């Protein structure tokens, strides 16, 4: 798991908004969408594998996966939050 101090200094590369850990309940919803083939990245490409952890912008607009404790902060690999945030 990423150290909280590191998360506190990270920001979204697109909007520069602060990032926070995605709650487990929202992660479960996202993974269910991925499994059903309904989740996509910002660029429209389908997400092809489950996500173990993720960060979300403070306004819940974009989600970034964390792979092997490394945040993938690439704009094109952002996940629109509207897919899981109601």
Query: pLDDT, tens digit, for every residue of 61-74?
Result: 999 999 999 999 99
Burial class (CB in 10 A: 0-12, 13-18, 19+), 48: exposed
Comparing CA positions, the residue from 38, 43, 37 lying closest to residue 62 is: 43
Above 80 in pLDDT, residue 2? no
Dist. CA 7–CA 38, nearest whole Å: 28
* H/E stretch holding 54: strand 53-57
Q: Model's pTM, two decimal places?
A: 0.91
pLDDT at 86: 59
H or E stretch including 33? Answer: helix 24-35
Comparison of pLDDT for 47 and 86, the residue scoring more:
47
Torsion of CA 58, 66, 54, 19, to 10 degrees: -10
Predicted confidence at residue 56, as pLDDT, reads 96
């Amino acid at each position: 798991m990423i150290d909280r101090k590191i998360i506190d200094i990270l920001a979204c590369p697109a909007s520069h908004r602060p990032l926070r850990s995605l709650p487990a309940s929202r992660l479960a919803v996202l993974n269910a969408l991925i499994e059903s083939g309904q989740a996509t990245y910002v660029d429209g490409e389908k997400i092809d594998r489950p996500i173990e952890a993720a960060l979300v912008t403070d306004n819940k607009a974009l989600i970034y996966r964390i792979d092997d404790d490394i945040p993938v902060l690439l704009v094109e690999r952002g996940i629109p939050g509207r897919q899981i945030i109601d």
